[in-house]
Amino acid sequence: MTALTAPASRAGRLRWTLTDGLTLIGRELSRLRQEPGELIGALIFPATMVVLFGYVFGSAITVPGGGNYREYLMPGLFAMVTFTATMAVTLRVATDASRGVMDRFRSMPVARSAVPFGQTGAEILSGVLGLAVMAAAGLLVGWRAHGGVWPTAEAFLLLALMRYALSWAGCYLGLVVRNEQTADQLIPLVFPVTMLSNSFVPTGGMPTVLQVIADWNPVSALTAACRDLFGNPGAPADGAGLAWPLAHPVAATLGWSALLLAVFVPLSVRTYQRRGR
C-alpha cells in the first residue's frame, strides 16, 4: 500500500491494522535486542523484588491463619510488577513522541490504530517473559502453586490480561505527556498505588479509610485472585465480611481489565490521531 487512504471495507481496515500492528510489535522487539540493557533491567527487577521482600518482610510478618509468608507474598509481587510495568509503556511512548518517531509514523502509510497496538502488543510479550523469570525466582525461594494446573494457568492469564489493559493506560499517558523526562518523573507515583493494597500485608490492620481504599484497589483484587487460584495463604475463605472485590476477586479483576480496555483503547487511538492534525 502506497497511500494513507484506508481500505474501503471494514475487513480490509482490520487486516491493515493487524498487519501494521504486528510489524510495529516486531520493531519494538528489535529495539529491545539492540538495547539489551532495558530488557535485562526489566527482568532483573522482578527477581530482585522476590528476594528483597521475601527475606526482609518474611522475617517480620506473620501470615493470618498461618502459612509460608513467601507463598503469601508472591501473588502480591506478581500484581505489583504488573502495575508498575505500566510506566515502561508510558516512557517508551513518550520517548517516541518527543523524538519525532510518532510524526514519522504519521507520514507513512501506517494504520493509525496500529501504532498504539504495536506498543501495547510488545509490552505483553516482554511481560510474559518477566512473569516467567519472576515465577522461577519464586520457586527458588520456596513459593509453590497448589491450586492445580488449570487454576494456575488461569492466574497467569489474569495477570497477562491486566497487564495488557494497563499497557493501554500507559500508552495514553505517554501520548498525553509526550516528554520522556516528565514520564520518567511519574514512575514513583505508581508505587503508592501498589503499596496501598493487600500485596504485602493484610488490610485488616489498616485505618478504616485506608482499608476501604485498599480493599477496592484493583491491585488487591488481582492479588486476592492469584492467591485463590494458586492456592496460597491469604486467599478469601468464604467471602464473609469482605469487600466485594476481595470476596469475588476473579470477577473484580476481569471487570477492572474490561473497564481499562473500554476507556483507554479508544482514548489512546483518538489521542494518537489528533496529535497528527
Position 247 pLDDT exceeds 50 = yes
Distance from C-alpha of 64 to C-alpha of 233, rounded to nearest angstrom: 8
Q: Please check the confidence at residue 126 and state whether its pLDDT lies above 60.
A: yes
Give the C-alpha separation, 211 to 12, whole Å: 50
pLDDT digit string, tens, across residues 156-193? 999 999 999 999 999 999 989 888 888 888 878 888 88
Whether the predicted pLDDT of 219 surpasses 50: yes
Q: Is a pLDDT exceeding 70 seen at residue 9?
A: no
Cell of 47: 527477581
* CB 227, CB 233: distance < 8 Å: yes
Query: What mean pLDDT is predicted for residues 85-107?
Result: 81
Lowest mean per-residue pLDDT among 75-79, 93-97, 222-226:
93-97
Tell me if 200 sits within 8 A of 73, measured CB to CB.
Answer: yes
Task: Check pLDDT > 90 for residue 152.
Answer: yes
Confidence of residue 154 (pLDDT cuts 50, 70, 90): very high
- Position 244 pLDDT exceeds 60: yes
Cell of 222: 488481582
Q: How far apart are CA 88 and CA 268, in angstroms?
A: 16
The C-alpha atoms of residue 121 and residue 28 are separated, in whole angstroms, by 9
DSSP string, 4-60: SPPPSSHHHHHHHHHHHHHHHHHHHHHHHHHSHHHHHHHHHHHHHHHHHHHHHTTTT
Distance CA 154, CA 217 (A): 21
**26-46: per-residue pLDDT in tens?**
776 676 666 666 666 666 777
Residues above pLDDT 90, as percent of the chain: 25
The reported pLDDT for the residue numbered 240 is 62
**What is residue 238's predicted lDDT score, i.e. its pLDDT?**
61
Note the pLDDT of residue 242: 82
- Per the listing, cell 487512504 goes with 5
Average pLDDT of span 228-252? 84
Give per-residue pLDDT as tens, 69-80: 888 889 998 998
Mean residue pLDDT of the chain comes to 81
Stretch 130-139: mean pLDDT: 86
Distance (Å, rounded) from C-alpha 78 to C-alpha 232? Answer: 13
- On whether the CB atoms of residues 224 and 198 are closer than 8 A, the answer is yes
CA separation for the pair 125, 178 (Å, rounded): 24
- State pTM to two decimals: 0.85
Provide the H-helix boundaries in the chain.
Answer: 10-34, 36-56, 69-84, 86-98, 101-106, 114-140, 149-177, 180-186, 190-195, 208-215, 218-230, 244-247, 249-275
pLDDT value at residue 2: 40
pLDDT at position 248 over 50:
yes
Q: How far apart are CA 23 and CA 10, in angstroms?
A: 20
pLDDT at 1: 38
> Does the pLDDT value for residue 23 go beyond 60?
yes
